Amino acid sequence: GQQVMQIPQYQHVQEGEDFTTYCNSSTTLSNIQWYKQRPGGHPVFLIQLVKSGEVKKQKRLTFQFGEAKKNSSLHITATQTTDVGTYFCAQDWLGGTSYGKLTFGQGTILTVHP
């Protein structure tokens, strides 16, 4: 089946350090979405990227979509303890009409040490 490879699986940082998670696909993506899930919580939508080379920022978070639309990254500058959680990328289901169906990456679990 389709796979979205997300790395790293775990990342431990000291508060104030930067953090990056990467999402790679073997196929060209129509768009990619990013979600955050706090420990014990549910996934919450962060952003959707659609255009080749697109870069979007949300305060300390920077999202990029690769020029070939096969990879994406989420970068957090100067992490805070509130950034703790699992970050997922998700791509549209391939093979026919997606109907909004998503294939999720395995997620990157971020821990921040104060």
List beta partners, residue 110: 11, 85
Q: Please, what is the minimum distance in Å from the beta carbon of residue 52 to other proteins?
A: 19
Q: Write the DSSP assignment of 20-60 as a string of letters.
A: EEEEEESS--S-EEEEEE-TTS-EEEEEEE-STT-EEEETT
- CB of 46 closer than 8 Å to CB of 35: yes
Work out how close the CB of 114 gets to other proteins at its nearest, in angstroms, rounded to a whole number: 25
- Residue 36's identity, in one-letter code, is K
Asked whether position 85 contacts other proteins by CB under 8 A, the answer is no
Tell me whether residue 66 or residue 107 sits nearer to other proteins (CB atom).
107
Binding mask 29-68 for other proteins (x = CB under 8 A): ----x-------xxxxx--x--------------------
AA identity, residue 86: T
Binding site for other proteins (CB under 8 A): 1, 6, 9, 33, 41-45, 48, 88, 90, 92-93, 98-107
